[in-house]
Amino acid sequence: MLLVGLTGGIASGKSIVTHMLRELGAHVIDADKIVHELLAPGQDANREVIEHFGQEVRLSDGAIDRRKLGDIVFSDPDKRAWLNKCIHPRVYQAYHARARHIIERDPSAIVVLDAALLIETGYHKKMDRVIVVYAAPQDQLTRLMMRDHFTEEHALARIRSQMPLEEKRAVADYVIDNQGTREETEVQVRALFERLKREAELQK
C-alpha cells in the first residue's frame, strides 16, 4: 500500500490530476466531498457551523451555503481557523476509515487523499508521499475568475488565504507542473503513477 497526499492551490488543477490518477487505478478520497457530507443537514458539524456563524449561512433546506460561508472565512483568519478546527479532524477521521477499508481489500493499493489544505493542517506528515500540483499564480487567478465567476478581488482573497504554492513545492516529494497542456500534464501523471506503483509493491 501507499498513502499519497495530493494538494495544490485553488484552481491549480488538482481535479484534473486526481481524475487522471483515478483512471490509472488509484483509489482517490476527496476531502472536499467529505466536507460536503459533514455539512449536510442533520450532521453535528452542520449544527455547529450554523450556531457559530448564524442563520445567514443556512439555506432553506438546512444545508450550508458554502459560497456565503467561504466569503466569511476567506476574509477573516480567526473565523477560518475556527472552521478548520471544527471540520478538519472529522475529515481525517473519515479518511482513515475509508483508507483502511480500501487497504483491507487491496494491500497494494495506492490511496490518494485529495486535500487542498493537506500541508496547512500538517497532515502531509502522515502520508507516505506528497504530490503538489503547481500552476503559476496568474494562471490560478484567471482560472478561478472564469470557473467560479469571482471578481479579481474575491479570487485573490481565496488564493492568498492558502499557503503559497512555492512553499508547498518545498515539502513535496513530487510536483506535477500544470502550466502546460492537458496532454503534457497527463504524461507527467502517467510516469508518476508507474513510480508510485513500484513503491506500493515494495511496501506490501
30: its cell numbers: 476527496
Provide mean pLDDT across the span 181-201. 96
What single-letter amino acid sits at 11? A
For 149, left (φ over 0), alpha (ψ -120 to 50), or beta?
left
Phi-psi region of 129 (alpha: psi -120 to 50; beta: other; left: phi over 0): beta
CATH 3.40.50.300 applies to domain 2-202: yes
Instruction: Give, in degrees to the nearest 5, the angle at Cα 84 between 38 and 170.
Output: 120
Cell of 71: 466569503
* 139 Cβ contact list (under 8 Å, min separation 6): 11, 12, 179
Output the pTM of the full model.
0.91
Question: Could you tell me the residue ranges of all domains in the chain?
Answer: 2-202
- Measured in degrees and rounded to the nearest 5, phi and psi for residue 203 equal -95, 5
Nearest to 91 by CA among 51, 32, 49: 32
Residue 110: all three cell numbers together = 495506492
What's the pLDDT score for residue 204?
Answer: 65
Taking the alpha carbons at both ends of the chain, their separation in whole angstroms is 6
pLDDT digits (tens, 9 = 90+) for 107-126: 999 999 999 999 999 999 99
pLDDT at site 160: 86
Task: Give the pLDDT of residue 74.
Answer: 83
- For helices 182-202 and 14-24, angle between their N-to-C axes, nearest 10 degrees: 50
Q: For residues 156-180, give the mean pLDDT.
A: 93
Lowest mean pLDDT among 68-72, 77-81, 134-138, 159-163: 159-163
Confidence bin at 89 (pLDDT 50/70/90): very high
